[in-house]
Structure 1
């Protein structure tokens, strides 16, 4: 926080004129402080308390110039702020927190990246899904064929009690297998429609 001025040439000249007057009733302590302020060749500092005493003196004596006129080319003296050294434990803790946050951000960004990629056409989970789909189709076709063949043989063997002619037995077995096959296809199509219709 500022507590003094860096005085300019205007202040130096006016205060020097004031100090050279032998008839001035300037208090001794104020005179010494002002002589010390204007005596140096380089930029000198005037404290606020000295500036207040000089202003009071000028008002009491009825001088024709005011303090703000004296300080027109002066500036505030802002002392350099000395930062205290940082606590090494705090610095280490902040570094750990930064690393943890960076790791969480990385995990959030790479959450949907699958490291088990096979090639550009897909990854292992998609391949597994396709294999399961093929297995289901093969099982369905095998089930269909077994059902139709079983229906044929059942009808052929059961028709021996009705027909004695082989051609009639075969014809009745083909008709029974066809009916069972159409019923199986109907159920299969309805099942496929249900699976495809699901969201």
Structure 2
């Protein structure tokens, strides 16, 4: 993530003797930090000139705030002309050579599929059993077939939704442990 910028020639000149920032009378602390940052050379070998200097965004914000408070006619975008955002190179970790598709990986996948099949089978059996039990049990309450089927569908739907809720919570818990 970017947290610095490569200062351009304009910013270096403005901070130097006789530069545009000299009449602004920057606070000593801010001037010292800017000069120290501009005095540091960039350590990566990707820059051939070697004159690139890193300035943190914090210092740029402080400079901008100071210029804004003073009502300066010198604008930050003018000072940053020619500067670039510094993006450090991301170091990728080396790949682990043990994960080449061994039989233990196959075993994990088979166990995962087996657990999924059992869960789906359990869901179907539970909903079907709720339907059958309600259909058979409702014969003592309702005499019409339509009423019995409707009651059985309602109960099976409620049981199915409850079962789905429990499955989602269980899967959420398993994913949280990863």
Do both share a fold (TM > 0.5)?
A: no
Higher relative contact order (CA 8 A, sep 6+): 2
Q: Which has the higher helix share?
A: 1
TM-score by length of 1: 0.40
Q: Which has the larger radius of gyration?
A: 1
